[in-house]
Amino acid sequence: MIRITFEERPVGTTMRIMGRLVSHFAEQTKELVLRRKLPADLIVDVSELTFADGKGEEALTWLGRVGAKFIADSSYSSDLCERLHLRLSMEVSPDVSYQPGD
């Protein structure tokens, strides 16, 4: 199961990928991006991505090649971005809150 949402921001678009990015879902992810006008400042939040197979990793790598930056606030997504050499954004996922002393 996968869920993909888009949020328009004043300076670009955030695409959130949640769940398992596998097989034909990976191709559909690319198609979703291509159907929209590809924003110059695309942020892909993979913090809630739980698994990506080879096709999913190819889709993420493609997103990186077209200029997307990534938010990875979980150990799996952070490791995935590091392994695939995906550029991380300096933005923080909107669901993550920082408390002083954390």
The structural domains of the chain, ordered by start, are: 2-84 (3.30.750.24)
Task: Report which of residues 65 and 97 the model is more confident about.
Answer: 65
Question: What residue type is assigned to position 6 of the chain?
Answer: F
Long-range pairs for 78-85: beta carbons < 8 A, 24 or more residues apart? 80/46, 80/49, 80/52, 81/46, 84/57, 84/60
Task: Determine the Cα–Cα distance for residues 15 and 44; give it in Å rounded to an integer.
Answer: 5
DSSP code, position 88: B
Query: 14 in the Ramachandran plot: left (φ > 0), alpha (ψ -120 to 50) or beta?
Result: beta
For residues 80-88, give the mean pLDDT: 98
Q: Report the percentage of the chain scoring pLDDT > 90.
A: 70
